[in-house]
Structure 1
């Protein structure tokens, strides 16, 4: 599968292989220690490609403020090796073993090459390849989110190259380019992280806006349903009221009171209602009872089958009630679904306790 990541890996492998190949193309045949040159090249290639391809599985997260943190408690005890910014994946962090190998390569390869080719060939192209090679290795380390290791490697390269060939020769033959590569890589990683954080914030804002818009649509639809119910219930009463110029008969007043009660029930306790409960509530109001229905959220997580059982028990309770005032409320208790309280006027000025003539607690069927 062709992707940006695969293309970059291919370029890194090809470029480091080219730099290493330059070290094998020596122009003199009497190198003091050619095997050391080959061994240094092998160490460089193994280290470079290990830093390029090694991607362990433990997770490492970069938070929104740019500070790395372990993704969970288990990952906190191990060296972090993978990065993400607000859920957006980035380059994986280099493990500690690879960092040690990279620093060892930066410390060993320049001195090994300088000793192996001899003092007369230390500034020739096949002997100065490590200036670009170690720079490319530290660039990879920087992209793998190890800035301190990368700059430490550049410092080791600077000390070794200047010690073996002199500051002017080292700077003119490629040391400056290596420093620039690592600096550009760090700026690029920082820019990528900032862009990832901005993208994540925009994504969250877009999701929040979509959620808000969806909630508004749902609320508008719910309001339309409530308005339609109100028109269906109160429409006939209002039509008669307008037609008679506000002069209502006793029957019209009763129907208006019943319509008001039905509207209050639909708004305050819709999950308590079905056809049987609505019928019993209307019967109680027709005989003159004052009925209050209030759902305070106690039935939000109850399924329809359980609601059917609760409503059936509520309808049965209302069917046998004869109180002057009925209070029907959902219960905050985990075991009780609905509480029905009935109160009536008693002779002789009763206390509140004496006035209560109905008390029924309808339990949750699955918690009783």
Structure 2
């Protein structure tokens, strides 16, 4: 499967292989060719390990890939293209400690090994100075893998070794400056990508919050429209008759107005307690003259529709047998009790006495009683 990550990995491998291949293009005598070959193999193995190696704990996590980011770093060093690191915005994962040690060992050993192996007369030849760009590319990969201290330590080691073996001016002129610039650009790119990732995450949270607020407003508007429609359905006929009779209502009209008012209060104060059976029993109680109060104060939060159906059925049965003059129906904060129904009526002693409680019913939560 061709992807940006795979392309960047291929570019990184090809770029580092090209730098190493320069070390085999001997145009002069080489005192110890075997040492050169061993140094090249060690460099390539370490570099490709830093490109491909991800901790086992992160392989199952969806990532754009540390390898792709490392490859981007190597290739970005050559052409300065910041898009090469764009895939690392959700990665890359930090380089494991063993790979860091190998990278530092490579930065320390390879320059000296190559300089000794080619001999003093060939230390400024292209086949002997390839390590300036090679170690720079390796440290760029290490930087992208979020190990800045290791990367800069490797650059310091490269600087010291190259200046010792070929002199400060030759080292700076033959590629040391470019390696330092690569690592610096890689650090700036990683910082910029991390900042972009943070900004993206922040904008995503703000967008979700805005979407949630907008959704809640839409839901509230829908609920208000539903409530207005219910209010019109209940109170519309009463208001129409009131207007038609210029406010002169009969006793039957006044009763219908009180019942309509009660229905509207029920829908606003306790909608989760209501179904058709409960509404019918509440209307029946009001028509016989009872004063009914329904309050849902949050005691039914988290109760599913099936449990609500059981609670409503028990409430309708309780209202069907109630004969109290005042009925108080409210949800309960108790963990076991869902709804409390209290009925009060005037005591036999006379109107001066307090109403007596003639109904007390606690409807339990289904499955919690």
Q: What's the TM-score once normalised by structure 1's chain length?
A: 0.89
Question: Are 2:126 and 1:140 equivalent residues in the alignment?
Answer: no
More helix by share: 2
The residue that corresponds to 1:98 in the other structure is 99
**1:54 shift after superposition:** 0.5
Q: How far 1:349 moved relative to its partner? A: 6.6
Match of 1:14 in 2: 14
Deviation of 1:321 (Å): 1.3
Q: List per-residue Cα deviations over 1:19-70 (Å, max 9, x = no partner).
A: 10000111124x2211100000000000000000111233599xxxxxxxxx
User: Which runs of 5 or more residues in structure 1 are unaligned?
Assistant: 62-87
Q: Deviations over 1:259-315 (max 9, x none)?
A: 000011111111111222111111111122111001112223222222222112111
Identify the residue that residue 130 of structure 1 maps to in structure 2: 131
Q: Give the alignment of 1:1-368 within 5 angstroms.
A: 1-29=1-29, 31-59=30-58, 89-346=90-347, 347-348=349-350, 355-368=356-369
Distance in 2 of aligned mates of 1:162 and 1:246: 105
2:65 aligns with: none
Aligned length, in residue pairs? 340
TM-score by length of 2: 0.89
SS of 1:128's partner is helix
User: Tell me, which stretches of 5 or more residues in structure 2 are unaligned?
Assistant: 62-88
The whole-number CA distance in structure 2 between the counterparts of 1:324 and 1:340 is 13
